[in-house]
Structure 1
Amino acid sequence: MKTRVAIVGAGPSGLLLGHLLTQAGVDCVVVERQSRDYVLGRIRAGVLETVTTELMRKLGIDARMNAEGLIEEGFNLATDDRLIRIDITALTGRHVMVYGQTELTRDLMDAAPDRGLTVIFEAKDVALHDLESDTPSLTYVRDGETQRIQADFIAGCDGFHGPSRKAIPASAVREYEREYPFGWLGILADVPPCHDELIYANGARGFALASMRSSTRSRYYIQVPLTDRVENWTEDRLWDELEMRFDPLSQHGVTRGPALEMSIAPLRSYVFETMRHGRLFLAGDSAHIVPPTGAKGLNLAASDVAYLSDALIAHFRHGDDSALDGYQARALARIWKAQRFSWYLTKLMHSFPEDGAFEHRMQVAELDYVAGSKSMQTVIAENYVGLPL
């Protein structure tokens, strides 16, 4: 098979890129090693910046998002007994939208057949070849047979564990990483949210987050040691903990319900600066991971895709390679700013094992300063709602 752009990975970044290229008349194919149901079964975040919602609207795949997404004009930072509301709309004139990443992915998948976007699921053993030549290709195994796709370019949108980043030789690699000494224990349940807006709380018992996927589905997290296991937590124990954290702060109080999912996610800051190697371009989690504190993961992937799709379209329509040549630098400038904000919120709102009383008092002082400073609230709001492309 021959195509203009072979896209590895059918998560949000790969599907967004595929739709944008298809809309512009650029032939492409998306290859995904998992099944459709497996991809849609992954539970991910769902706070969307304008860059993400505008891409969906540009594609005309926004009807369900507009109908079901929750407009959020603010969010809250909290201590044990105080909410500090960050009024995003008043401070920036913009807002974020709560719409689950799984739902956005479903919308993109459902739209693919009618729009002529080919997505090949259950493509095993994907391997990339001849990346430094003018005719790169990838191979995969499906139904016991090896298939090859020859392309002009390959886009690696296959996440942290995918083959694309690993295909870049070690001599060309530049990467930076910070692993955090705790994880997030999360529970997803079909219960109404305890508060009308997200609450990021830093209390005596550590970090906790009250968020939602809809008006009837809630997502909660608490900070736990990396040594902790889901098996150590019953649902009742976690709901007890959440009630202690959020009942004194929230408008509605925590409503209990059966868990749809419970898991512990480690936190990591990671940047793979080699976002281009020959004819291979990386986008999304294959190039960067942010701690979820700043709600930047999906949105950074969307900004990568916005840059990369424009660059590829310019190449095929006009023979202009300037945007392709500048893709890495342009993407990294926004990535590092998002990393800085995510690191700042993570440091501000979590209890670090190595910290003592002094560091805790610094967190209290910082939150007190944020509460009384419109300028500081504006900085936080600008970063949370998303910096300009």
Structure 2
Amino acid sequence: MMILQGRRILLALSGGIAAYKIPFLVRLLRQEGAEVRVALTPAAEDFVSPLTLAALSGTASEQHLVLSHGGRTSWNNHVHLAEWAEAVVVAPATSNTLAKAANGLCDNLVLSIVLSAKCPVFWAPAMDLDMFAYPATQQNLVRLRSMGHEVWPSPEGALASGLSGAGRMVEPEFMLRALELHFAARPFWLGKTLLLTSGPTEESIDPVRFVTNGSSGRMGEAIAAEAEQRGARIHWVRGPLRRADRVWTDAVKIIPVRSASEMHAASVEALPHADVVIAAAAVSDLCPTSVRSEKIPKSELSATINFEPTPDILQDLAKRRAPGQVVIGFALETGEGLSSAKNKLIRKGADAMVLNYETEQTGMNSNTNQITLVTESHEEQGPLETKAQVASRILDWVERFATKD
């Protein structure tokens, strides 16, 4: 499903060098099914062609408040443009344009649209680092936020001046993702925080050996992506990632850990801030009682290594939780697992267990999964689905459980 299908997005460009990236954003939005219109300040025309933007958006670019055609003059109705839009994106947002908007000044079409907009307005600041850090600029950003506008971050990096620092415009892919998250947000998750654990853990034996398992972390990644899309904040305690990561917004705080004890400590620290806990990590059950500082000779391995249990993270989080916090665990089985999942549910004190099996089509390294949501009084079995669909099923259950009478 394309989240932006049919959504009406107005891009408002001001005069900065980063304007050259906006045609790429127009193309991305159109590929996702959005309707796009473009408005430019006079200075923006020096950096990007209105004709290019018109060709990519499929509609004429809007540039002037007063239009002249064959000696006749007419008014470009900025109110209609503002009413048409479901979201306005000011990108690049120069210090001049955001200062004018923050103080209610209106001397061009872009500012007229921004000041008339009833829909959400998003700002993508783009300027040199000293201009970005200037106190008045920072005050203007605060003022825009206080008006209900959303100001996207300005990451550090190489700038057009040759300097390096904060003030870069976020990339088109970031803007696309942020708009998708805005339109996909669900009321239940807005303002809520999910504590998520995922991935494997690694328990060191010596400097070169460790105990681990085959978890890919894909199920946890799918849950994080779905929660992010629904508007939640995510505190993600993540074991070692064994493949390339994706791009996440600021709503996702990744806390990298390696061992079960590190995951336990990070999870306990994050618990007070969480509304929902999903413990999807494949935590090692055992760890060596001691870690050797030098590599153990092969001949001594079997006689040298002793193991002890790792912390039971799910059980400890369930014991420590505050009233109203929802706690869900995972149970991976290879045989008949329903009774085992119920026993784990009761023993660990969770609200639900996600029962799944290790097979060719499900489990750790597959892209699909089939789960049964197990509570004390009910089992809800789902079909074989992609892990993204499974993540949606789990979060749907959380919504129903947390809002039941």
| Alignment TM class, shorter chain as reference | under 0.3
**Larger radius of gyration between Structure 1 and Structure 2:** 2
User: Greater relative contact order (Cα 8 A, min sep 6): structure 1 or 2?
Assistant: 1
Q: Which has the higher strand share?
A: 1
TM score, norm. by length of structure 2: 0.22
